[in-house]
Amino acid sequence: MKVKFWGVRGSIASPGPSTVRYGGNTTCIEIRTDNNELIILDAGTGIFPLSQTLLSELPVTANVLITHSHWDHIQGLPFFIPNFISGNTLRLHGAFDPVSGKGVEQVMAVQLQYSYFPVREEEMKARIQYITLAPEQSVQIGSATITPFLMNHPVIDFGYRIDADGKSVFFTGDHEPLMNIYAPDDDAYAEYQAFVDEKSNHIQQAMRGVDVLIADCSYTEAEYPGKRGWGHGTFHSCIDYAKKANAKVLFCTHHEPTRSDDALEAAFSQALAEHPRQAGDPDYRLAREGECFEF
């Protein structure tokens, strides 16, 4: 299996000299099975450069798994070049939105209005299919089994586990570890803590034994108190997830858009210093745009 990162920034694209080493595009990850089946995790601005590489292997069948519908995870989708070429197929997978009452099709419908984009969906040449997923209901994409899991973010948000040919990847999407919203002396504290513990354990089990864990590590521990409730993790929380899951490799992603490459490396180094690696611990890495990891 191959994992290639095409976008690793969170919230907003951040191109420029201070982000050139790790990249400024928003979330997009290419997965290739051993049979070369194409799975794309999220469609941030990184999906545009990815789509340019696909022109050498037309016709393309692209399975795009959307974690959630915030802009930085979908805004590159109208620029996915194979959509404009006959003979290609885009299969867009994602969650049902209980607020709008619509499935993943709204990700395209909202963006492809003349108010926001000059080409309507009806004018796209490729065949576009929509698959609305249910939590923990696995689907098969060629040799790969895809299982979505509900994560913790201020909108319905899926993490995805991909299992194929004895290898596995888990991508958290945007995720903040659950916390108790009640004070310890509140009557509701114990009941809510039981819910937090059950949900946290469930997510941990979903990650168990993966070869590669790709996780939202937006903030440092010092930054997190001011960002609580925004739906993002820290370097510390994701290292903890990776260790408990017995993952082989942790890729830290969704880099804070205001953080330069130098500052990103400094924050990562500090986190590693506070979590000295022991025998059997995962290999910890910063996700870097353009990097390909094969296992």
pLDDT in tens, 221-255: 999 999 999 999 999 999 999 999 999 999 999 99
Task: State the pLDDT confidence band at 99, using cuts at 50, 70 and 90.
Answer: confident
**Residue 253 is part of a domain; what is its CATH number?**
3.60.15.10
Compute the distance between CA of residue 293 and CA of residue 122 in angstroms, rounded to an integer: 37
Phi-psi region for residue 16, left (φ > 0), alpha (ψ -120 to 50) or beta? left
Sorted by sequence, the CB contacts under 8 Å of residue 220 that are 6+ apart come out as 234, 235, 267, 270, 271
In this structure, which amino acid lies at residue 248?
K
Grouping H, G, I as helix, E, B as strand and the rest as coil, residue 192 is: helix
Which residue bears the tokens 């963006």?
111
**What tokens were used for 24?**
């400024």
Angle between helices 235-245 and 261-274 (to 10 degrees): 50
Compute the distance between CA of residue 151 and CA of residue 156 in angstroms, rounded to an integer: 8
The string of pLDDT tens digits covering residues 68-86 is 999 999 999 999 999 999 9
- Quote the pLDDT of residue 18: 98
Domain assignment of residue 221, given as a range: 2-294
Measured between its terminal Cα atoms, the distance across the chain in Å is 6
Q: What residues form DSSP beta bridges with 64?
A: 40, 92
Compute the distance between CA of residue 7 and CA of residue 22 in angstroms, rounded to an integer: 9
- Quote the pLDDT of residue 214: 98
| Strands, sheet with 61-65, edge to edge from the N-terminal-most edge strand | 127-133, 89-95, 61-65, 38-41, 28-32, 2-7, 292-294
Compute the distance between CA of residue 251 and CA of residue 282 in angstroms, rounded to an integer: 10
Sorted by sequence, the CB contacts under 8 Å of residue 31 that are 6+ apart come out as 1, 2, 3, 38, 39, 40, 41, 144, 162, 169
Answer yes or no: are the C-beta atoms of 181 and 192 closer than 8 Å.
yes
User: What share of the chain in percent tops pLDDT 70?
Assistant: 100
Average pLDDT for residues 137-155, to the nearest whole number?
A: 97
- Quote the pLDDT of residue 33: 98
Task: State the pLDDT confidence band at 5, using cuts at 50, 70 and 90.
Answer: very high
User: What share of the chain in percent tops pLDDT 90?
Assistant: 98
181-211 exposure pattern, b = at least 16 Cβ within 10 A, e = fewer: eeeeeeeeeeeeeeeeeeebeebeebbeebb
What is the total count of domains within the chain?
1
